[in-house]
Amino acid sequence: MNVQQVKQRFGIIGNSPLLNRALEVAIQVAPTDISVLVTGESGTGKEIIPQVIHNLSSRKHGEYIAVNCGAIPEGTIDSELFGHEKGSFTGAAGSRQGYFEVANGGTIFLDEVAELPMQTQVRLLRVLETGEFIRVGSSKPIKTNVRVVAATNENMQRAIASGKFREDLFYRLSTVPIQLPALRNRQEDIHLIFRKFAHDFAEKYRMPAIKLTDDAVQLLVNYPWPGNIRQLKNLVEQLSVIETAREIDSFILSSYLPQNTEKLPQFIGENPQENFSERELMYKVLFDMKKDLNELKKLVVEILQQGNAVSLTSDQSAVVNRIYQEVNENVKNTGLLLPSAASPIVESNYRYPTASEPYEAHVEVEESLSLEDREKELISKALEKHRGKRKHAASELGISERTLYRKIKEYKLMDL
């Protein structure tokens, strides 16, 4: 059976290469008894892969049991999975078969397997390695022939590092790993899935199916979908039931989409381990901005000195001066190590000479266009004030101690 046939049989929608690859691996491992670990974010539809594997295997006529490991209390999960004997614990009025005994010759799907208690992990590892288990309250081993397919939305390497999950069990479960992609990584499938859900809910509630305008489709595709397919299904059902209009535009759609779901961008320097504070990042941005303004001032001075014919209206001069003053005011308000606002670039009532008129340059320029001198002076004063204690000096300057140390080396202030 090929991928397309599997999609038709199990109602899987989409043509994403990542989805197709996951289905290809499932089809290849289905005839074997290899353990499979399905990973992916919550809501990506991981439960469909164990069904595909079971129904394409020689065990398809045996029992298929899906167990949500996170939904069973820790005190009873061993009994649920492996059974118990009469009197083994309070309330055990009789003996009981566990899932591994009932599913002998079939398949067990362990969803949220990372939530298993450590003691249960030890029992599960024994089943996978020897095919034997012991009921709670018994000492007699019982043979079973069960294929295990597990799934989790957790980062298993992190769970292992934190001591939450056994490393040997992880490798035993993940003989073949299958990764299901997040919905945001299947943009070509999002509208197809939307239309499928719209058709399903139209039949369920006996009403016309909703449709999206072009701008709504664009919004739908570009949304990050943190809840994946489960979130998309809930959205379509809400729109189908609540909205009276059958054509949904971007304005209506946006009112149903939670905002602020995207992660903030991260700034990473040459060293990935180095973290910059927000203040330091703002400092760099404003430093570059100030540098650009100084370059602009130099350019104006050069034009005047060369005697070129330049004519600015009073409105243009006012715009240039206002922009310069606003930027300098913003720089001053940050409290960073920047020089005070400079005088305007041009005077609004200044008339530039024409080529035929004698030219006499008379332009006021900042005494220093360098930030380094000002920064070096402030760092020196802070170190002197706090008698060389860098921690206190850095706090006063509003920068990290690591940045201060770098500046000290850069400006050769090690003796202060």
DSSP H or E segment with residue 405: helix 401-410
How many CA atoms, within 13 angstroms, populate the side-chain half-sphere of residue 16? 21
226-254 burial code (b ≥16 CB/10 A, e <16): bbbbebbbebbbebbeeeeeeebebebbe
**The domain 184-254: what is its CATH number?**
1.10.8.60
Domain with CATH 1.10.10 in the chain: 370-416
Q: What is the DSSP string of 243-266?
A: -S-SEE-HHHHHTTS-S--SPPP-
CA separation for the pair 61, 54 (Å, rounded): 9
| Residue 391 C-alpha from the chain's centroid | 34
Question: What six digits make up the tokens of 246?
Answer: 């059958």
pLDDT of residue 38: 97
Cα–Cα distance between 208 and 245 in angstroms, integer? Answer: 10
Domain with CATH 3.40.50.300 in the chain: 3-181
| Cα distance between residue 195 and residue 338, in whole Å | 56
pLDDT at 307: 53
What's residue 1's pLDDT? 80
pLDDT at res. 92: 77
pLDDT at 212: 95
Closest CA to 333 of 325, 321, 323: 325
User: Is-contact 405 391, C-beta < 8 A?
Assistant: no
CA dihedral over 215, 217, 220, 222, signed as positive or negative:
negative
Per-residue pLDDT tens digits of the chain, which is 416 residues long: 899 999 999 999 999 999 999 999 999 999 999 999 999 999 999 999 999 999 999 999 999 999 999 999 988 999 999 998 888 777 777 888 999 999 999 999 999 999 999 999 999 999 999 999 999 988 899 999 999 999 999 999 999 999 999 999 999 999 999 999 999 999 999 999 999 999 999 999 999 999 999 999 999 999 999 999 999 999 999 999 999 999 999 999 999 998 755 444 444 343 433 344 455 556 556 666 666 666 666 666 666 556 554 555 565 566 556 655 665 665 555 544 444 444 444 444 445 445 454 544 444 444 455 667 777 888 888 888 888 888 888 888 878 887 887 788 787 777 65
Helices 371-385 and 278-306 meet at what angle, rounded to 10? 140
- Please give the structure tokens belonging to residue 17: 């290469």
Helices (H), 83-155: 99-102, 118-130
Fold of 3-181: Rossmann fold (3.40.50)
Rounded Cα gap, residues 220 and 187, in angstroms: 9
C-alpha 124/C-alpha 252 separation (Å) is: 49
The residues that bridge with 84 in the sheet, in sequence order, are 96, 136
Predicted local confidence at residue 35, as pLDDT? 94
pLDDT of 15 reads 93
Residue 226: the pLDDT is 94
Q: Supply the pLDDT for residue 415.
A: 63
370-416: which CATH topology?
Arc Repressor Mutant, subunit A (1.10.10)
Q: How far apart are CA 283 and CA 305, in angstroms?
A: 33
Q: Provide CATH 1.10.8.60 ranges for the chain.
A: 184-254
